[in-house]
Amino acid sequence: MKILIITDIHYGEDTNYPKLIGKEYINLFGSQFKKYLPNIKTLVKEHDLTINLGDLINETNTESDLIQYKKAVEFFVKEKPVKHVLGNHELRTLSRSQLVEIIGEKKSYYSFDLNNYHHIVLDGFRDFEEDIYKIDKEQLAWLQKDLDNTNLLSLVYCHYVFDNQSLDSNYYFNKPQRVFIENKEEIRKIFEDSKKVIAVFSGHLHFFHQEIINGIKYITAPAFSENDGNHKAKAECLSVDLDGKEVAVKFVKVF
């Protein structure tokens, strides 16, 4: 099975981080997404499944973001399955119910079977009182039951991160609570105890990372619209090849 992983497209206006290099520096080229669409559509057709890991849009206000998110979802071809994960940027102005309706799911977390693998999409709820991301009790119970009810090897997708990677070289984040799922150890134990989860894919951090924890691969995909250093988007995706328990990941440039 071949899976295309794309994340942090930030479709919309370009943005900059003045604290990084200067006020004129563009760190995210969200406006360039449309020009890559023909090549993205070709890649989607070449894979059995495409996963958008979240931050599909760069938010501005509720009215325009609703239109923008619908457009971005519709950009993806429908000949092959495309599934969407909720990120933090679309949730700044839009509700879960609005987003779930657009992506055609019943809930913001869900699962499905495809090509003899079980696929699980999780929603890292933000607790604004504690300023943390977490998988809440209702979703935890659902996850446990969902894994109990499948006999297939399983893959997990969530915008936020479950591993132990360092933030030292990441200019976006220096507070772990803004990156990691707060109850990640509890969730990793559910993954491990199931003996079924072989890989977990996340976005959010914008830069590629991979590590293995107790036999499970944890992979952070690179942001599609991140500045490549030459005033254009990196336009990177991940192509994942599955063969039984083997998970092979390679970079794909969308040029």
User: What number of residues does the chain have?
Assistant: 255
Q: For the chain, list the domains and their CATH numbers.
A: 2-253 (3.60.21.10)
Residues 6+ apart with CB under 8 A from 8: 28, 53, 54, 55, 87, 203, 204, 206, 221, 222, 223, 224, 225, 226
pLDDT at 106: 97
- Residue 119, phi then psi, degrees to nearest 5: -120, 130
pLDDT at 178: 86
pLDDT at 139: 96
Cα–Cα distance for residue pair 66/96, rounded to 1 Å: 12
Which residues, given as ranges, of the chain have pLDDT below 70?
A: 17-24, 128-129
pLDDT at 23: 63
Cα–Cα distance for residue pair 107/96, rounded to 1 Å: 8
pLDDT at 183: 96
Would you tell me how many other CB atoms lie within 10 Å of the CB of residue 129? 6
